[in-house]
A and B are shown apart, each in its own frame.
Chain A
Amino acid sequence: MILSLIILYVVTLVYLSITERFRHYATLMTYQGWLLLLIALLRLHSIHWLDLLFVVTETLIFKAIVVPMMLRRIIKHNKINRVQPAGRSQFGSLVMSIVALVASACITYLVADDSINQAFFCVSLYALLSGLILIVMRRRLFAHLVGFLTIENGVFLFSMAMGVEMPILINTAILLDIVMSILLLGMFLTKIGDRIKVDDTDSLTSVKD
């Protein structure tokens, strides 16, 4: 069951690379939040019920509801719609994403060590690479934000691989979620949109050499 959910999670990552509309990003983040919630419930059922309650509540409220809601508010507030100007192909992104997936699988295969849950390791690595690809390949700040959230979800997924032995690691990952995501999303919503007025990285070039 967990493996099926992880495969679905991979599908959301692949779809992130080809989607052309920002509202689809928000939808994919919602799906990822729900998938992480289900994985947490199945994977961590043996930990202390208070720890489990905390993780599940955080995942449900924060990842499945608050973050997607804030993303939608940003889209509405800044009136942004497309990832790239119309007519541009997403083929390059798709190729990069597939290369990242193959690279993650190859590294996992090369490690060939059962000290780490290999499915979680592979997908987390792929999530990290997907996030970095989004940040590097996309020009729009909103896409960078989604790239960061993708990396964060990947880190959270991997923390669940070890959460049974060390629940403190999941709690620390949650700390990262709450503090940094709220700070970034809040700043984007309240400051960047209002003061800089545009959503392209071209507008963020006054601080340079």
Chain B
Amino acid sequence: MDMTMFYYIVAAIALAAMTGLARSRRLVVSFASVFFVMQAAFAVWSVTAGAGVQSAQFFTFDATGTLFMVLMAIVSPFAFVHSFDYLRDNNLPEFRLYNMLMVLLCTAVSAVYFANNIAVTWIFLEATTICAAGIIYHRRSPETLEATWKYIFVCSTGIAMAYLGVLILSSAAHEGSLSYESLREAVAHCNPLYLKIAFLLVLAGYSCKMEIFPLYTIGVDANFAAPAPAASLISTVLVNAGFVAILRVYRLMAASVVFEWVQSVLVLAGVVSLVIGALFLRRTNNYKRFLSYSTVENMGIAAIGLGIGGVAAWAAVLHVAAHTLIKSSMFLQIGVVRSIYDGYRINRLGDYMQLNRVGAAGLMLGALALLAFPPSPLFVSELMILRQTMGEGQWWLVAVIFLLLCIVIYSIFSRVIKLCYQPNQSPTRKSEHATWLSWSAFSLLAVAFVVGLTMPEWLKVWIEQIVNF
């Protein structure tokens, strides 16, 4: 049996331990860099030699895991490089603890991506809670303590609910194995009411990771409290882990008689998330919370896509993949903003175009990409979701989505324009690395635009494999 996944996890934990014990910042950076090289090599291996291979019994290198692993391998090194600058004033223990937790978070998330067993997915999602909690508490202020408490409490409750769902599902399926494949064969003959209860519990539980209704709030608080480069991971790769966990259960349910009901629930959760995202984008006065509500809104659209099914499910996966690149770029840009203003208050920050032209241009282009203006790949995904919704004759849903997207467009544009052009009321400071950090964040956005313009064939094939069940 292939043991690559096992070796990868062991090596990553060893590197995390070395990072946590390093005696100088240089060593911390070195160990973290080795991890990223290893992560990139692992992603390349999973694309080439690993495709379809079952590893260490509980993992399979399928298209779903591979796509999101590749995205993480692209995004996470940027988050680390930005972290090194963001944490330059931190002492060594804080710096190495943060980096160790980031390495562990990436490792746990990669295990969630590739898990072929519903219990293993759950275990590693639980592990992400612990890693993310440590990162959220990094600044050790009363606000971060509050956010960490809320994060651990709500995630634990959600994870416990999801586990009850997993138990009911496996109990109803009467299947000795908890692999998705075995469960998929068994659920076709299960009691529909059990399946419905199980799905509701799993969706509600994992919603804390995917940042959709009902437990979306803690994701917003987590992104607010965590350092901006870490938020760029929490709001993308960790959200993707929640998405993958729900997607795998969704695919299970496709074999059962309750699939239509499951789709309706996803549409409902998606619409409510979209409403919340749209309304709170107007209300919040903090740029990090603002971007987090944009994540809630985008994940709501992805849930609607899955709920509609067919081409819209394809578009939902593309939407999540593109969102990873765009949102991480935006969070990293906001991290650069903080290095100049030392804050995130929307009503006080301004004149960013004069202070950092590259960063301002990156934010404005990022806003355009988030709002699905071509050539953003989100344009393709949202258009496909809307077309499929119209094709299904659900005009009320199209109207609701349009209305809410209008609010989102107004909110995002007005906030980004404010930052760039309104008179600044906040003290500023000189940031030595702002320009090149802005360029590096911009490069992620450029990748998203290239994907939107070219729509590579391999990406289409991967997504086809993911939604082909």
Binding site for B on A (CB under 8 A): 107, 110-111, 113, 115-116, 121, 124-125, 128, 131, 135, 144-145, 147-148, 151-152, 154-155, 158-159, 161-162, 165-166, 168-169, 172-173, 175-176, 179-180, 183-184, 187-188, 191-192, 195-196, 204, 206-207, 209
Closest CB of chain B to A194's CB: distance in Å? 10
Can you list, as one digit per residue, whether each of B175-202 has a CB less than 8 Å from chain A (1) or not (0)? 0101000000000001101100100000
Stretch at the interface among B48-56, B64-72, B138-146, B351-359: B138-146
The reply to whether A172 and B194 form a contact with Cβ atoms under 8 Å apart is no
B residues with CB within 8 A of A: 119, 122-123, 126, 129-130, 133, 142-143, 145-150, 152-153, 156-157, 159-161, 163-164, 167-168, 170-172, 174, 176, 178, 190-191, 193-194, 197, 221, 224-225, 280, 283-286, 289
Contact present for A116 and B146 (CB under 8 Å): no
Once the chains are docked, how many angstroms separate the CA of A123 from the CA of B143?
38
Interface majority SS on A: helix, strand, loop or mixed? Answer: helix
| Chain B residues, CB < 8 A from A168 | 119, 178
Given A172-B123, A173-B163, A196-B146, A162 contacting B171 (CB threshold 8 A): yes
A175 touches B126 (CB 8 A): yes
Cross-interface CB contact of B146 among A166, A180, A204, A209, cutoff 8 Å? A204
A192 touches B156 (CB 8 A): no
What are 21 A-B pairs at a CB distance below 8 A?
A: A113-B191, A115-B174, A124-B164, A145-B153, A148-B156, A148-B160, A151-B157, A151-B160, A161-B171, A162-B167, A169-B167, A172-B123, A175-B126, A179-B126, A180-B156, A183-B152, A184-B152, A191-B145, A192-B145, A207-B150, A209-B286
Q: Could you tell me if A115 and B157 are in contact, using CB atoms closer than 8 angstroms?
A: no
**Pairwise interchain contact B142-A176, C-beta atoms closer than 8 A:** no
Contact of A116 among B168, B221, B283 (CB under 8 A): B168
**Inter-subunit contact B150/A148 (CB<8 Å):** no
Smallest beta-carbon distance A83→chain B, Å? 18
Cα distance A183–B147 when bound, in Å?
Answer: 15
Q: Quote the shortest CB–CB distance from A67 to chain B (angstroms).
A: 14
CA distance A193 to B228 in the complex (A): 28
Q: Given A115-B174, A115-B194, A195-B145, are A183 and B130 neighbors across the interface (CB < 8 Å)?
A: yes
Q: Select which of A110, A155, A187 is within 8 A of B163 by beta carbon.
A: A155
**Residue numbers in A under 8 Å from B280 (CB-CB):** 209
Bound Cα distance from A196 to B144, whole angstroms? 11
A172 touches B122 (CB 8 A): yes
In the A-B complex, the 10 residue pairs with the smallest Cβ-Cβ separation, listed nearest first, are A180-B156, A113-B191, A209-B284, A116-B171, A111-B193, A207-B147, A151-B160, A155-B164, A207-B146, A162-B171
Chain B, interface SS category? helix
> Across the interface, which residues of B come within 8 angstroms of A147, CB to CB?
157
Residues of B within 8 A of A125 (CB): 197
Contact A155–B160 (Cβ < 8 Å): yes
Q: How far is the CB of A112 from chain B (nearest CB, A)?
A: 9
A195 and B193 contacting across the interface, CB-CB below 8 Å:
no
B179 to chain A, nearest CB (A): 12
Q: Which residue of A lies closest to B286 (CB)?
A: A209
Contacts of A165 in B (CB 8 A): 176
How many angstroms between the C-alpha atoms of A191 and B143 in the bound complex?
Answer: 12
Determine the distance from Cα of A84 to Cα of B152 in the docked complex, in whole angstroms.
24
Q: Which residues of A contact B190 (CB under 8 A)?
A: 115
**Given A111-B194, A183-B152, A196:B284 Cβ within 8 A:** no
Q: Is the CB of B167 within 8 A of A155?
A: yes
A158 to B164, Cβ gap below 8 A?
yes
Complex: A135 Cα to B171 Cα, angstroms: 27
What residue in chain B is nearest A192 (Cβ atoms)? Answer: B149
Also in contact, A176 and B164, with CB within 8 A (given A161-B171, A187-B152, A196-B142): no
Chain B residues in 8 Å Cβ range of A151? 157, 160-161
For A135, list chain B residues within 8 Å (CB). Answer: 157
Instruction: List B contacts of A110 (CB < 8 A).
Output: 193
A residues in contact with B164, CB < 8 Å:
124, 128, 154-155, 158
Q: A111-B194, A209-B286 are in contact. List 5 more A-B contacts (CB 8 A).
A: A116-B168, A169-B119, A176-B126, A176-B156, A183-B156
